[in-house]
Amino acid sequence: MTEIDRRRFSAALAASLSGAWPSVSEGAQGSAAAPAPAGGLTDVAGLLVGHFTDTRRPTGCTVVLAEAGAVCGGDVRGGAPGTRNTDLLDPANTVPQVHAIALAGGSTFGLDVAAGVERYLEEKGVGFAFGGARVPIVPAAILFDLGVGDFKIRPDASAGYSAARGATAGPVAEGCVGAGTGATVGKLRGMGLAMKAGIGSASLRLPGGGVVAALVAVNALGDVVDPATGRLVAGLRTEDGKGLRGTVAALLAGETREAPRSGENTALGVVATNVALTKADATRVARMAHDGFGQALRPIHTPVDGDTIFALSTGALTVPNPSFVVGIVAAEVVARAVVRAALTATSLPGLPSAFDLPRV
């Protein structure tokens, strides 16, 4: 990067990050109202987002389609991941592009949704050509929501097909939809003091036409924290259930009663940009984007979380040192999307949302 390029980048990055975080008003009795729109993953041209929400219990799946193909990298952290086709994303491996990303509830059962997405794309003639066939590439990741409702009901291939068929380039639905339908946070002391979370999405535009966006499904062991204020948004509640205690504070005070069970958590994310990236670039962006989880989820990457981020590039725009530019902004949009996942969620019996508790 030349000195001129560095100056241009510095100015562009400062401009993109200078905007205030999405505004949050106060609802009844001081509770948090839904935030103003903050853009979403479909602000990256060429990407479609679809949700399937199972009305029989709180679960579902979310699909990001890149039918023209997109370069993809990924980074899996935490001790309890559940993924499919992530080995293909290694920069040393052969497959150059993917055609969709699938996120699902249902624990490992939810990985079946990718088969339904593949079937939908094959029917549309999307995928790598092999003779008369088309082979779509669909990496996937799951979160554990079997503790909410009837665990025998979980997303399957038909759910993935429905989400793909309904995917659009319109505004991304947020809150308790798709893979975020059964998502919860603050589970250090079990579901009795946990809170509801869901899906969140956000985007930022760079001067010159660059776009960086994120979509996250937040089902973490820890709490959602607003990086702009340091305040807890949702998470572990106080003993009476009426306020926010905070997971780290409870840990430091020795308030844990039993070790959290492995695999019952996980935050999932898709970061996307129209900036051209190589697979190595995209992998680096996915790693940097985890910093957004670190800003807005505390704690994160624990042995009982399986946190995963995919990074997509449609390649429409070329900029100098792209992974540096996109990676920094990716962490910002991931953090914003995490906060939105809590603020747009709605409550379930015994699982209040951020709207239901006074802000602290």
Rounded average pLDDT over 201-221: 95
pLDDT band at 149 (very low <50, low <70, confident <90, very high): confident
Residue 248 has pLDDT above 80, yes or no: yes
pLDDT of residue 143: 96
Q: Could you give the domains of the chain? A: 28-356 (3.60.70.12)
Query: Can you give the C-alpha Rg of the chain in angstroms?
Result: 19
Rounded average pLDDT over 178-198: 94
DSSP string, 85-110: S-GGGSTTSS---EEEEEEESSGGGG
- Output the pTM of the full model: 0.90
Specify the DSSP class assigned to residue 193.
Answer: G
Residue 272 has pLDDT above 50, yes or no: yes
Q: Round to whole Å and give the CA distance between 44 and 58.
A: 29
pLDDT of residue 263: 58
- pLDDT, one tens digit per residue, over 21-45 is 444 444 333 345 556 667 999 999 9
Residue 240 has pLDDT above 60, yes or no: yes
- pLDDT, one tens digit per residue, over 298-336 is 999 999 899 999 999 999 999 988 999 999 999 999 999
Q: Which two tokens stand for residue 31?
A: 């509770």
Query: Is the separation of the CB atoms in 276 and 67 below 8 Å?
Result: no
pLDDT band at 132 (very low <50, low <70, confident <90, very high): confident
Distances (CA, A) of 37 to 22, 172, 229: 7, 10, 19
Q: Can you say how many angstroms the Cα of residue 6 is from the centroid of all Cα atoms in its chain?
A: 30
Query: Is the separation of the CB atoms in 272 and 214 below 8 Å?
Result: yes
pLDDT band at 55 (very low <50, low <70, confident <90, very high): confident
Average pLDDT of the chain is 89
pLDDT of residue 233: 96
pLDDT band at 293 (very low <50, low <70, confident <90, very high): very high
